[in-house]
Structure 1
């Protein structure tokens, strides 16, 4: 399993950053390689990606979500991956967004890419594009303020 940790400071209030992050269908606007995300239910999303010429479709479940604090997920099929995004108020107008993602590269190319830090740089780039997206807009495109209590991982 490979772990990636990245963070970025954005010039918007914590509520704005959090609210935008709950709008999963907007991810293709700032996440490289994400072609489409469909919000199936409050806690289930369907993803279509094309990263490095590798096309994938998978479902991801929101395993924990608390307004203005965190959104955690795990893939329920396909590549083993999961993670958490946390939101930290710096002051009234600035927020630190932290991403921690665990994934298991399953092809030779993915393993080499992971070893070379390709995915780390991709996540860092996605966060930079999120910063540009939300700061340019100045407001979120929507919000989902529901709470999802932690659900057990497989095998717990």
Structure 2
């Protein structure tokens, strides 16, 4: 497994940053290579992506969701991946958004891309575009304030 951690500080309150992140269907607006995300139910999303010319579709399960704190997920089919995004209040009107990803590169192209830092650069670019997206809007496009508790071992 490979991993990446990146963060960005956004000039919006924590609730605004968190609420926007829960709008998964908006991800194509700021995530490179994400063509579509459909919310299937409270815990399941379906993704259609293109990375390095390779098209993939997969489902992801939200494994934990705590309003204004964190959203964690893992793939349930396709290539193995998992992640968590956390939200930290810096002050009344700014928030640090931290993204941690773990993934299993498949095939020669993905393995080479991993070694060249492609995923790290893409994660940083996605967070920078999220910052531009939410700061330009000044408010979230929607919100889901429900909670998903981490499964007990």
TM-score, normalised relative to structure 2: 0.99
CA distance in 1: counterparts of 2:43 and 2:133, whole angstroms? 24
Write the mapping of 1:25-104 to structure 2, written as runs, cut at 5 A.
25-104=25-104
Q: 1:122 deviation in Å? A: 0.3
CA distance in 1: counterparts of 2:91 and 2:104, whole angstroms? 36
Deviations 1:71-97 (A, max 9, x none): 000000000000100000000000000
SS in 2 for 1:143: coil
Ranges in structure 2 where 5+ consecutive residues have no aligned partner = none
CA distance in 1: counterparts of 2:3 and 2:151, whole angstroms? 21
- Any conservation in 1 of the 2:52–2:109 contact (CA below 8 Å)? no
Q: Partner of 1:138 in structure 2?
A: 138
Q: 1:52 deviation in Å? A: 1.1
CA distance in 2: counterparts of 1:132 and 1:78, whole angstroms? 31
Q: 1:130 deviation in Å? A: 0.2
TM-score, normalised relative to structure 1: 0.97
Q: Tell me, yes or no, if structure 1 residue 12 matches structure 2 residue 34.
A: no
Task: Provide the aligned length of Structure 1 versus Structure 2.
Answer: 153
CA distance in 2: counterparts of 1:107 and 1:128, whole angstroms? 28
Deviating beyond 6 angstroms after TM superposition, the runs of 4 or more aligned structure 1 residues are none
SS in 2 for 1:134: helix
Q: Partner of 1:129 in structure 2?
A: 129
CA distance in 2: counterparts of 1:80 and 1:151, whole angstroms? 19
Q: Partner of 2:24 in structure 1?
A: 24
Q: Partner of 1:118 in structure 2?
A: 118
